[in-house]
């Protein structure tokens, strides 16, 4: 298939989407606070008792092993989606920009991709995630948060930034197509910014889409995603010729969060029963995280 006229940008979650397991859970359960404590901390996030950021810092802080030791455990336990490598090669062949977007730590994600895909292929994947400070002896694993919010990484903002960058690279009359691929609660904010949304079947993101009548495409593996993206590319070329808005353009992407009116919380968000889901969807209104003030040194 020839390169598409329209610029296409794919954003994909990492844990539970590209890889079937959660990298953080593998580390915490085996080398950190342990599975029981980790599950207890997860419940504190869901109940709203503590913020995602605060709990995450405790989880990462429980690790006391060198990075390479942690990676050995991940390499043994992680399983990549069986169709991912073929899908990513498809993206490369068709000029589709592919980015990982994650609430995890960038050094870990890059190391895992290097190991499973090889450094050459891995280098063609952008990673939009939190950074990390990991001491060589493993005595400290400290997240360096991407954004000063309760979530640490505002995925919706990152997708918007990616859209803006794609628009700069597009022709004058071309609107880029944004694709998001995910599986869970932490993907809700980014999912609303996409023109085309893929949700792994049977997991929370798909359930949420069904509950709130949000258009999505279910998938079992990236083999399914590849087939659907091929159809979408063909449809777009036939209907628009790559000019103007995509055939699958999502006008709601800029309606779900109105920056100019933070009080205008959509009804489907206000009706969401889970504190965790409200926080991920609309952190401006439902966050309990308050950044600590920076006090300037004052001369006595």
Q: State how far Cα 1 lies from the chain centre.
A: 28
The rounded distance, in Å, linking the Cα atoms of 11 and 198 is 10
Query: How many CA atoms lie less than 13 Å away from 32 in the CB half-sphere?
Result: 29
- Containing H/E element for 130? strand 126-134
**147 in Cβ contact with 128 (< 8 Å):** no
42 is catalytic: no
- For residue 229, what are its two tokens? 């993206």
Task: Write the burial class of residue 121 (CB in 10 Å: 0-12 exposed, 13-18 middle, 19+ buried).
Answer: middle
User: Which 3 state secondary structure label does DSSP give 255?
Assistant: coil
Catalytic residue check, 15 = yes
**Backbone φ and ψ of 128, nearest 5°:** -110, 100
Is there a contact between 243 and 251 (Cβ–Cβ < 8 Å)?
A: no
Given the residues 13, 29, 81, 154, select the one marked as catalytic.
Answer: 13
Helix (H, G, I), strand (E, B) or coil at 297: coil
Q: Phi/psi class of residue 266: alpha, beta or left (left: φ > 0; alpha: ψ in -120 to 50)?
A: beta
One DSSP character per residue, 193-206 reads T-SEEEEETTSHHH
In the chain, what is the straight-line distance between the N-terminal and C-terminal CA atoms, in Å?
Answer: 70
Cβ-contact 142, 158 below 8 angstroms? no
Tokens encoding 80: 């990549």
**Catalytic positions, please?**
13, 15
């Amino acid at each position: 298939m020839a390169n598409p006229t329209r610029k296409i940008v794919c954003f994909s979650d990492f844990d539970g989407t590209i890889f079937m397991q959660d990298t953080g859970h593998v580390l915490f359960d085996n080398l950190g606070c342990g599975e029981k404590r980790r599950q207890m901390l997860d419940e504190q996030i869901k109940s709203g008792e503590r913020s995602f950021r605060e709990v995450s810092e405790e989880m990462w802080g429980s690790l006391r092993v060198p990075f390479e030791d942690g990676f050995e455990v991940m390499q043994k336990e992680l399983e990549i989606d069986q169709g991912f490598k073929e899908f990513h090669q498809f993206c490369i062949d068709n000029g589709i920009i592919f980015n990982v977007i994650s609430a995890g730590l960038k050094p870990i994600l890059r190391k895992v991709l290097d190991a499973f895909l090889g450094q050459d292929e891995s280098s063609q994947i952008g990673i939009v995630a939190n950074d990390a400070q990991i001491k060589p002896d493993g005595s400290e694993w400290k997240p360096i948060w991407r954004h000063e919010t309760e979530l640490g990484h505002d995925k919706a903002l990152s997708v918007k930034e990616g859209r803006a960058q794609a628009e700069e690279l597009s022709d004058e009359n071309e609107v880029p197509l944004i694709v998001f691929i995910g599986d869970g609660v932490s993907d809700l904010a980014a999912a609303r910014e996409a023109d085309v949304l893929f949700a792994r079947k049977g997991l929370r993101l798909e359930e949420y889409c069904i509950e709130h009548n949000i258009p999505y495409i279910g998938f079992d593996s990236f083999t399914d995603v590849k087939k659907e993206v091929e159809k979408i590319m063909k449809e777009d070329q036939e209907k628009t010729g790559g000019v103007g808005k995509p055939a699958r353009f999502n006008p709601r992407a800029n309606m779900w969060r109105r920056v100019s009116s933070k009080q205008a919380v959509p009804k489907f968000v206000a009706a969401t029963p889970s504190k965790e889901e409200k926080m991920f969807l609309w952190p401006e209104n439902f966050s309990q995280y308050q950044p600590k003030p920076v006090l300037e040194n004052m001369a006595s």
